Chain A
Amino acid sequence: MSYDPIDIALILGKIGLVFFVILTLAAYLVFAERKVLAWIQDRKGPNRVGPFGLLQPLADLVKLLTKEDFRPVGADKWLFYLAPAMAAIPAIMIFSVIPFGAPLTLFSHTIPLQVADLNVGLLLFLALSSIAVYGVALGGWASNSKYALLGSIRGLAQLISYELSMGLSLVPVVMLARSFRLSDIVAAQSGCWFIVYQPLAFLIFLISIAAECKRIPFDLPEAEGELVAGFHTEYSGMRFGLFFVGEYINIIVLGGLAATFFLGGWHGPLLPPVVWFSGKVLAFAFLFIWVRGTLPRLRYDQLMHFGWKVLTPLALVNILATGWFLVLKG
């Protein structure tokens, strides 16, 4: 196999762009969350650093980097240091399969706006999101603290349960698009978005991704009222920052996937594709923040019952119904 240097440069360029945009967006999502929550609660939010508080993420970054980075007595050294990275890296890796715009044509060179167009793209997403579980589990376990361990056991159980309904809710999408390749799934929605055919699957997927990124009402692994801060209780400085940023990267990535699977990816009238895609991602991010400002937390047994006894059976019935629909349609 030979490699064209232009292709390699293009791929490296795309990776750099994705990293830059996602990390910046994640930092500003933290800021946006504080602002929107403040707006919902009728207060001002961060407004001292820079105009409208726009430089707040930078100030937070400086604070996190200069804070003391300590390790509790009896913690498992290597796993304690590795866990934050294990939580953040899979999240950003998932973005490599998401098409974020229509293919560009520059100097008779077609550039797909996607880092890797794998024919198992959807499965790669499921694989990486199941790997991200280790960050939560090992982080809490390696801290050698009761609260952190309780948080990570909750996190493990929750992530395993909701991964199941998330995977099952994507089966109808694959049945309609007849492909695991994300660019094919987007192309199949050029006429009509899948949310029209699959409103139930969309709802199940939306609830499951809220649980996957551990947002209220599913934030039991880090419930501050009961577990101090859950699995990242013992982390400080930039290691805590990595867990935190990882969560926001997760919101962006899962929002992008929800847009790709159900809202037609970058398809949309008038505006350029990239704008449509980012608009959809930001809409999902706003929805998550809005939900956080509105809903209370579930109880742990309610969470488990809801996942196993409501979402999973519903997703299975939905797969069956989609199968019948496709067979009868011919």
Chain B
Amino acid sequence: MEAYLFYILAVVTVIGTVMAITEQHPVHAIVYLVTSFFSLAMIFFLLSAPLIAMFEVIIYAGAVMVLFMFVIMMLDLGRPSEASRPFLRRWALPMLLGGIILVSIVTVAVNHISSPDTSRMISINDFSVVLFRKYGVAIEIISMQLLFAVVGALYLGRKRDDR
């Protein structure tokens, strides 16, 4: 049962991601990407990591992509069908890097056939103990960085009186 669900979701995720890249219309691309985030979240759920699944939906599908859409709707990008297709010379380096990642994923997958232990649900308690005890300092540093970014954005976006 879980295995069938996994394959269905995996196919949806991959197709959604590919369509998000190839789709020329930005709003359609967002819808495809949200679909793939959603099925990715369900895969996390099947892997007994419900917390990660929820974060995937809340943060990526619910916050980041909504803001993307907000910007696209405000900008009015004109006729997207006229956007030029990227040609091979510009694609060579990204394809090379992507190839390296693909080869390493395949190598890892072939060498570690054992699937993750899904019998034990990872509770929110376990997750937060690891996050805030073991990586507490890193969390604090990241949150300080985010605070700096917010203050910086407020400074850049302030109203100027000298106009």
| Residue positions of A touching B, CB distance < 8 A | 1, 3, 76, 79, 118-120, 123-124, 126-128, 130-131, 133-134, 137-138, 141, 149, 152-153, 156-157, 160, 163, 180
CA distance A179 to B126 in the complex (A): 13
Sampled A-B contacts (9; CB under 8 Å)? A1-B1, A3-B1, A126-B54, A127-B62, A130-B66, A131-B38, A156-B73, A157-B70, A160-B63
| A270, chain B: closest CB distance, angstroms | 35
B27 is contacted by which of A3, A79, A160 (Cβ under 8 Å)? A79
Interface residues as binary, B11-54 with A (CB distance below 8 Å gives 1, 0 otherwise): 00000000000000001100100100010010000000011011
Measured CB to CB, the nearest residue on chain B to A180 is B124
B58 is contacted by which of A127, A141, A152, A180 (Cβ under 8 Å)? A127
Chain A residues with Cβ below 8 Å from B105 are none
CA distance A3 to B28 in the complex (A): 39
| B9 touches A (CB below 8 Å) | no
Docked-complex contact B74 and A141, CB < 8 angstroms = no
Chain B residues with Cβ below 8 Å from A130 are 57-58, 61-63, 66
**Which residue among A3, A79, A127, A130 has the maximum number of chain B CB atoms within 10 Å of its CB?**
A127
B57 is contacted by which of A127, A137, A141 (Cβ under 8 Å)? A127
Chain B residues with Cβ below 8 Å from A123 are 51, 54-55, 58
Chain A residues with Cβ below 8 Å from B57 are 127-128, 130-131
Measured CB to CB, the nearest residue on chain A to B54 is A123
A sample of 8 more A-B contacts (CB under 8 A), given A127-B61, A131-B34, A153-B70, is A79-B31, A123-B55, A127-B54, A127-B58, A130-B58, A134-B31, A138-B31, A141-B73
Chain A residues with Cβ below 8 Å from B73 are 137, 141, 149, 152-153, 156
| B67 touches A (CB below 8 Å) | yes
Chain A residues with Cβ below 8 Å from B70 are 137, 153, 156-157, 160
Docked-complex contact A119 and B67, CB < 8 angstroms = no
| B145 touches A (CB below 8 Å) | no
Chain A residues with Cβ below 8 Å from B82 are none
With A1-B2, A130-B66 in contact, do A119 and B124 touch (Cβ < 8 Å)?
yes
CA distance A3 to B55 in the complex (A): 28
Chain A residues with Cβ below 8 Å from B123 are 119
| A321, chain B: closest CB distance, angstroms | 20
| B69 touches A (CB below 8 Å) | yes
Which chain B residues in 97-123 approach chain A with CB under 8 Å? 121, 123
Interface residues as binary, B57-81 with A (CB distance below 8 Å gives 1, 0 otherwise): 1100111001101100110000000
Chain A residues with Cβ below 8 Å from B34 are 131, 134
CA distance A123 to B50 in the complex (A): 10
B51 is contacted by which of A120, A141, A152 (Cβ under 8 Å)? A120
Dominant secondary structure at the B interface: helix
CA distance A205 to B73 in the complex (A): 29
Docked-complex contact B31 and A120, CB < 8 angstroms = no
CA distance A123 to B124 in the complex (A): 11
Measured CB to CB, the nearest residue on chain B to A167 is B58
CA distance A130 to B38 in the complex (A): 12
Measured CB to CB, the nearest residue on chain A to B38 is A131
Measured CB to CB, the nearest residue on chain A to B27 is A141
Chain A residues with Cβ below 8 Å from B53 are 120
Measured CB to CB, the nearest residue on chain B to A140 is B73
CA distance A3 to B2 in the complex (A): 12
B66 is contacted by which of A118, A124, A149, A156 (Cβ under 8 Å)? A156
Chain A residues with Cβ below 8 Å from B50 are 118-120
Measured CB to CB, the nearest residue on chain A to B61 is A131
B74 is contacted by which of A134, A153, A163 (Cβ under 8 Å)? A153
Docked-complex contact A137 and B62, CB < 8 angstroms = no
| B31, chain A: closest CB distance, angstroms | 7
| B3, chain A: closest CB distance, angstroms | 11
CA distance A123 to B52 in the complex (A): 10
Chain A residues with Cβ below 8 Å from B67 are 160
**Which residue among A123, A126, A138, A149 has the maximum number of chain B CB atoms within 10 Å of its CB?**
A123
CA distance A126 to B63 in the complex (A): 11
Measured CB to CB, the nearest residue on chain A to B52 is A120
Q: Which 6 A-B pairs have the closest CB atoms?
A: A130-B62, A123-B54, A127-B57, A120-B50, A127-B58, A120-B54
| B77, chain A: closest CB distance, angstroms | 12
| B29, chain A: closest CB distance, angstroms | 12
| A132, chain B: closest CB distance, angstroms | 9
**Which residue among A120, A138, A153, A160 has the maximum number of chain B CB atoms within 10 Å of its CB?**
A120
CA distance A120 to B57 in the complex (A): 12
Chain B residues with Cβ below 8 Å from A131 are 34, 38, 57, 61-62
